[in-house]
Amino acid sequence: MSMTNNPVDPARVSAEKEIAGVRGPTALELAETPVSPRERLGQRLNGGLLMALVVLISLLWSVPTFGLFVASFRSGAATQSTGWWNGLVPPWSFTLQNYQDVLSAQGLGQAFLNSLIIAIPGTILPVLVAAFAAYAFAWMRFPLRDWLFLAIVALLVVPIQMTLIPILSIFTGLGITGSYLAIWLAHTAYGLPFAVYLLRSFFGALPSDLMESARIDGASHVRVFTNILLPLAVPSLASLVIFQFMWVWNDLLVALIYIGGGDRAPMTVTIANLVNSFGSNYQVLTAAAFISMALPLIVFFSLQRYFVRGILAGSVKG
């Protein structure tokens, strides 16, 4: 039994052109246009070149991190006499002494704990407050809603440096300068504009029928927020957690102003002091830097599957 192709109906082609409202080939004509072997080969070569370029850029981007990792396990004499790439050639002479010195003698262990105490609440508080605020701006009606949202988004362009002295004066008057509460409040305030903007874009892109059906069933705003929006907002919340955690963890300026260099100093302040005190001991600095990088890398790779989905969540509505 032979199979034959149905001929193209000119009336159907003309109708498709009128519906599309544009001149040019229709989807049916494009589907039936044959692709020559040369064009197919060109498409494969372009795809292969693009993939090779992406791999090359990824490798070049990873070289400094890998070099830092190798140098952190080398002795001081080897670090000062040869480059880190020489450590990959046998015989290997790796040591853990650098990490022992940094964690014990230089107090980086306590600084790591201080960074956790600062970063965890400094991430949870702005994400939680921004989620409530974004729901209100997206699905609740109240006076001056759009103007308030515009004012919050406008705060994104205000440099942090302009706010340091006024906020420090307020915290000094309240007597909380140098405490964890001061830096928690500071990171929450600094992170809220971007967090509200990102989550409001996602919440506003959700279908309105979903909210209307929940309200018809008698669900309150709290129930809609907790049972409907939060499960749907996991990708956006995860991407926001990545941004906020990495910013708080790697922050030096805010911690230096509101905490200082005392017993509550995070890793960034402690490592900056190590650079001033042990600038010649390169191997100690590499171990300290890699310890500070380890946790953000773990957080990023653990949540990376949500990263792109969360960034693009509110970009297209429908």
Residue 130 belongs to a domain with what CATH number?
1.10.3720.10
Q: Which domain holds residue 160?
A: 99-311
127 and 240 in contact (C-beta within 8 Å)?
Answer: yes
pLDDT of residue 317: 46
pLDDT for residue 131 is more than 60: yes
Sign (positive or negative) of CA dihedral 268, 269, 271, 275: positive
Cα gap 294→182, rounded to integer Å? 26
* 316 domain-assigned: no
Q: Write down the residue that tokens 């003698």 correspond to.
A: 105
Domain for residue 88, yes or no?
no
Instruction: Note the pTM of the prediction, 2 decimals.
Output: 0.72
Longest dimension (CA), the chain: 92
Long-range contact list for 94-101, CB < 8 A, 24+ apart?
98/72, 98/73, 98/74, 98/283, 98/284, 98/286, 98/287, 99/72, 99/287, 99/291, 101/284, 101/287
Give the residue-averaged pLDDT of 289-294: 81
What is the model's pLDDT at position 193? 92
Phi-psi label, residue 2: left if phi above 0, alpha if psi -120 to 50, beta otherwise: beta
In this predicted model, what pLDDT tens digit does every residue of 150-204 receive, in sequence order?
Answer: 998 898 888 888 999 999 999 999 988 888 999 999 999 999 999 998 888 888 8
Tell me if 10 is assigned to some domain: no
Domain contains 191: yes
Q: Which amino acid is at 187?
A: H
Task: Summarize pLDDT for 49-84 with one digit per residue, the tens.
Answer: 878 888 888 888 888 888 888 888 887 777 777 777
The closest alpha carbon to 28, from 19, 37, 38, belongs to 19
Q: Which two tokens stand for residue 188?
A: 């929450």
Establish if 150 belongs to a structural domain: yes
Establish if 269 belongs to a structural domain: yes
In this predicted structure, the answer to whether residue 125 has a pLDDT above a threshold of 90 is yes
Total domains, the chain:
1
pLDDT mean across residues, the chain? 78
Say what the pLDDT of residue 289 is: 80
Asked if residue 138 belongs to a domain, the reply is yes
The pLDDT of residue 169 is 92
Structural domain includes residue 175: yes
Tell me the C-alpha distance between 298 and 304, whole Å. Answer: 10
